[in-house]
Structure 1
């Protein structure tokens, strides 16, 4: 039987995390499943979950009046989404939609924030893991913007 601790330790985001921190993080984790086309989160909703993608694909989307939803990033196994759990006002800034049957580890954001606050070493380790993801997504968005801009020049 696969335990949450084993699943978390095998996910790229938590890989190599100090065993004590991993045990603390497990207290905030649960398995979750989403059907194809099911929305996981909507822009403006409370960002009280952080997701580690185990199986399936998730589209991150933004909507514009009169234009509908546009996917700006598609994620697969081993990736994470929902980083807004760490930054006030703790609200989703995009929609997340399962593209196929999707299995995740859902991390309770409030629980994880509390544990990071109580143990700043753990908080710093989590932050070091999140920042490259945030920077990479900003870079990807910048490149998409440049492509879009160049296509209309």
Structure 2
């Protein structure tokens, strides 16, 4: 069976190199992992549980854009300046994850172009997916109702 998510995107030997930088962490249900606008200096690969990604909307409760689950990347804002979270993240169940500090991963990517390319390709794909999800969700919340599409 093929691996999905981040692990499926990386060659086995590169996956092992990346995992040498990981540490296991756990978050209880309802934990705020990060907030939109805060410094992004790490990321996670979810092992078990789910995390809701949300977008701050002035005068309203945060809008949930997408839910991240096992094998998926939580956090991509660490990879490029200004290294601030573009969304917020809150657990919707107890979560176990592998946590990575951004700086050692970025150094490893500088040393290993194969890992760099594979990880960057996966992260760019994730950014595109989250952008599409945000657009769809915001159209659901704020789009015109009952008329033809604009």
TM over 0.5: yes
Q: Which residue pairs with 2:83 in the alignment? A: 90
SS at match of 2:98: strand
Higher relative contact order (CA 8 A, sep 6+): 2
- Map residues 35-114 of structure 1 onto 2, 5 A cutoff: 35-114=28-107
SS class of match (1:139): helix
What residue is the counterpart of 1:136 in the other structure? 129
Superposed CA deviations along residues 117-151 of structure 1, whole A, max 9, x for unmatched, are 12222211111222222212222222223333133
Structure 1 contact 41–96 (Cα < 8 Å) conserved: yes
Q: Write out the 4+ residue segments of structure 1 that deviate beyond 4 Å after TM superposition.
A: none
- TM-superposed CA distance for 1:110, in Å, is 1.2
Which structure 2 residue ranges, 5 or more long, are not aligned?
A: none
**SS at 1:140 equivalent:** helix
Kindly indicate whether residue 80 of structure 2 is the aligned counterpart of residue 121 of structure 1.
no
Superposition deviation, residue 101 in structure 1: 0.7
Match of 2:143 in 1: 149
For residues 34-62 of structure 1, give each alpha carbon's deviation from its aligned partner in whole angstroms, at most 9, with x where no partner exists: 00111111112221111111111111112
1:18 deviation in Å? 2.8
Distance (whole Å) between structure 2 residues aligned to residue 142 and residue 61 of structure 1 = 12
| 1:21 correspondence with 2:19 | no
Native 8 Å contact 1:32 1:105 kept in 2? yes
Give the match's secondary structure for 1:96.
strand
Q: TM-score, normalised by structure 1?
A: 0.83
Conserved 8 A contact 1:60-1:96 = yes
